[in-house]
Amino acid sequence: MEYVLKNGLVYDPANEINGEKMDIFVKDGKIVESLPDDVKVIDVTDKVVMPAGVDPHAHVAGPKLVVGRLYRPEDSRRGVSQKTKVERAEAGFSIPCCPTTGYRYSRMGYGTVCEAAMPAMEAKHTHEEIATIRNIDVNPLTLFGNNWFVMEYARENRIEDLAAYIAAFLRISKGYGVKIVNPCGSEAWGWGKNVHGYDDKAPYFDVTSRQVVLALAKANEMLGLPHSIHIHPNDLGHPGNYPTTIDTLDSIKEITKSTKKAAKTRNQTVHTTHLQFHSYGGNSWKDADSAADKVAKFVNKTDYMTCDIGQVTFDETTTMTADAPMEYDLFKISGLKWANKDIECETAAGIIPCIYSPKTPVATLQWAIGLELFLLIDDPWKVCLTTDHPNAGPFIRYPRIISWLMSAPRRMEMIENGEVHKWSHKRTGLAGLEREYDFYDIATITRAAPAKVHGFTDRGALTPGYNADIAVYGLNPNDFDPSRNPEEVERAFSWANLTIKDGQILCKDGDLVATKKPHDIWCDVKGWEEEEARICNEIMPFFTQYYSIKWETYQVYDHYLSDPIAVQALAK
């Protein structure tokens, strides 16, 4: 477990290393400053070396995935491969089985993935699935935005009680942070309704989306959690939704960022996810256009927010989200089969297949808006690469997105040759954007920025003492122009030359040579134990009356977790 990666061209934005030829030393699963001269040498001369990838938002484990696999057997029949001496059989395309998910991330050079929506009531199963995802660590975010208790505390402005509730339910669900999806809207779906504006109220609760979001943001900072609130705003996917997006994000400016230790790594008080789906102008799909310029302008002038994009990839995929009413809207538009899942007192989810064809106007508009956001947001530290897997496309398309970002000629070729519908340039400004990402930018949006956003202090960088999570790609930037060779960019980032996780070599030249158990990462809030006990006692009569399961079976116990990492947040 001692070796040196020799003479690689290192891109490590967290340490401001931009293509410098240097050696990376690994000992006992960690990066170290140096090793003896006679240590084992792995020659990576003139190859791109980066920290292993960190995916800040994907759906890889939990009840939605189970329903999706059950009702889309046609998807499970795609991507099938036989087992080998190293790996189990693979299956699935947009909703791969759990081991397959880990294998495919590993081949791309990734080491950590955030499961972006875990209902507390079904956290046990989520962690059971995480335990079967090989090679990658997973930090699940617990859903709070439509929880009955949360809405009560928000309406009554009981922020300290809300903070105690969050601390307790992160411990109960073994969650990493606070996820908010269509606040008040998924609860409204229980009554066949939705909310569309930020100041709409949830039926029968007399509380608005704004109240819920601000209360959760205040409580999150009161606790000093390593990750900020992680929000999927109201009105996803609807033409004309960008004012709701900007209004939501603008309201967070009143929240003071925590100075507690666990929160110091991040800069933001809000991370907004799949921003592409929230950046639409117009009034209907007849006159819909891009509002990416307006949203990007807001992001550029704001220092308290980060985002990921949710880039459309032109695939047949599966959409799944805790925004159940939005999924019903998609069902009405597409006519494709639809599944709905209600999680009592907490959230609701919907699932439908989706075909993003480059020849259709709406899909092409969405594709162009995502790229516009990437290219118009000035600071790569504010933006992360995602497809909102599997919603805008499967995560295995990240290398293709990287090729688009690094090659303006490729983007223009798609527009000028008619590969994509004319809405791509008639209703967006994409054709006029010549900016190209370089390897340093790519390392930022796929490694350094996501790790910082999530408050990680052990990954996303090649810092001595950090986990030896490393990716090596078979490209030599000294004699390679990514702008002119987008296909080679996609190939290289699809099949890492080496993927190293905790010092162990898992992948060589795109082939898996080993697998390992994942780490299940959750946030352990310290100092609020008395408040947690008080709040649990307070809610017990309500829980007993309204929940269909017993409290004793609700909690996630330690044995459900795979090699857990408890990130401590010292709230007091």
- In this prediction, residue 480 carries a pLDDT of 95
Which residue, among 345, 17, 420, has the nearest Cα to 165 in the 3D structure?
A: 345
CB of 468 closer than 8 Å to CB of 26: yes
- In this prediction, residue 571 carries a pLDDT of 85
- In this prediction, residue 196 carries a pLDDT of 86
**pTM (2 decimals)?**
0.97
Q: What does the pLDDT look like over 491-506, one tens digit per residue?
A: 999 999 999 999 999 9
Q: What does the pLDDT look like over 144-191, one tens digit per residue?
A: 999 999 999 999 999 999 999 999 999 999 999 999 999 999 999 999
SS3 22: strand
- In this prediction, residue 1 carries a pLDDT of 79
H helices present in 206-263, as ranges: 209-223, 242-251
- Kindly state the average pLDDT of the residues 195-224: 96
How far CA 78 is from CA of 73, 92, 258, 385, 521, in Å, comes to: 9, 5, 46, 25, 30
| Residue 47, pLDDT above cutoff 90 | yes
Q: What residues contact 349, with CB distance under 8 A and at least 6 apart?
A: 63, 64, 67, 117, 320, 321, 322, 324, 327, 340, 341, 342, 343
- Range in 307-311, 334-338, 369-373, 470-474 the model is least confident about: 334-338
Residue 572 confidence class, pLDDT cut points 50, 70, 90: confident
| Residue 278, pLDDT above cutoff 90 | yes
Strand ranges in 282-338 using DSSP code E only, listed in sequence order: 289-290, 305-308, 316-321
Residue 226 confidence class, pLDDT cut points 50, 70, 90: very high
- Kindly state the average pLDDT of the residues 441-448: 98
CB of 262 closer than 8 Å to CB of 569: yes
DSSP H/E element including 514: none
CB of 138 closer than 8 Å to CB of 115: yes
SS3 330: helix
SS3 70: helix
Q: What does the pLDDT look like over 351-395, one tens digit per residue?
A: 999 999 999 999 999 999 999 999 999 999 999 999 999 999 999
